[in-house]
Structure 1
């Protein structure tokens, strides 16, 4: 199955879970909780407020070597939008991709998504846990601070609590 088929299929609209495709074109579905949605909204709001010279995209689809992956939240610079507009899925990852970890996500699944987004051009991948933990990854590995927002943990969790 191709991503364009997924987004245009009326049976796959308004489902209570996130849909992705693996590298073989098979659908992967993950349930989302209200807590997950709350974090997603707060992170999107924080990015919108602190990085106004770009676009905040929720459910941002990115074509990777392992199929189409969907970041819970992404921030794309004005330059990224000028180059790719709102192509679906993006052939390259926006500068910031955020994954909010649900109980159904395995550590390996999240680690693979971090690697895939970075391989597709993301500058940072934020992994946010529902118990107020945060990991920030860049091309050098796990880092203490965001190059975009400095002390992100303080800003992020102060806005959520």
Structure 2
């Protein structure tokens, strides 16, 4: 199933789950706890404060070689906006995953690789306690390169 078919399907419009596809075109749905939504909102708000020259968005679909993935939060510069709207396979500069209990280390490593392949400059991970980890294509960092003042721990 293609992403364009999923978003056009009225039966899938109001599902309370994060929807992605895997490399076989199958729909993968993940329910979230409320803390997941709280961290998403907090990350978006803080990103707007740290990087006002860009935009944030939740659940931003990116076509990858292993299906469509949707980071929980993204940040992109205004310079990249037109390209993102024209190319479903291009990733924003920052892609953030808010972790759930069902996430595995292998899955997270694969998503990081896919986001970097699609052009992301940083991939962040926020765990259920609000602790953040920052990654670039070169490896893990102690802080974000693009938003160095972003906290390592949300409260």
State if a TM-score over 0.5 links the two structures: yes
Provide the secondary structure at the position in 2 that maps to 1:99.
strand
1:79-98 residue CA offsets vs partner (Å, 9 max, x unmatched) = 1103233x5x7211100000
What is residue 56 of structure 1 aligned with on the other side? 56
What is residue 131 of structure 1 aligned with on the other side? 129
1:32-62 residue CA offsets vs partner (Å, 9 max, x unmatched) = 1110000001101111122111111100000
Q: Give the total of aligned pairs.
A: 155
Task: Specify every segment of 5 or more residues in structure 1 that has no aligned partner in the other structure, as ranges.
Answer: none
Residue correspondence of structure 1 range 24-103 to structure 2 within 5 A: 24-85=24-85, 87=86, 90-103=88-101
Whole-Å separation in 2 of the counterparts to 1:133 and 1:50: 17
What is residue 11 of structure 1 aligned with on the other side? 11
Of 118, 121, 131, 1:120 maps to: 118
Provide the secondary structure at the position in 2 that maps to 1:97.
strand
Provide the secondary structure at the position in 1 that maps to 2:28.
strand
Bigger mean CA offset, 63-72 vs 104-113: 104-113
Whole-Å separation in 1 of the counterparts to 2:50 and 2:148: 11
Runs of at least 4 residues of structure 1 off by over 4 A?
none
Provide the secondary structure at the position in 2 that maps to 1:104.
coil
Q: Name the structure with the higher strand share.
A: 1
Whole-Å separation in 2 of the counterparts to 1:82 and 1:55: 12
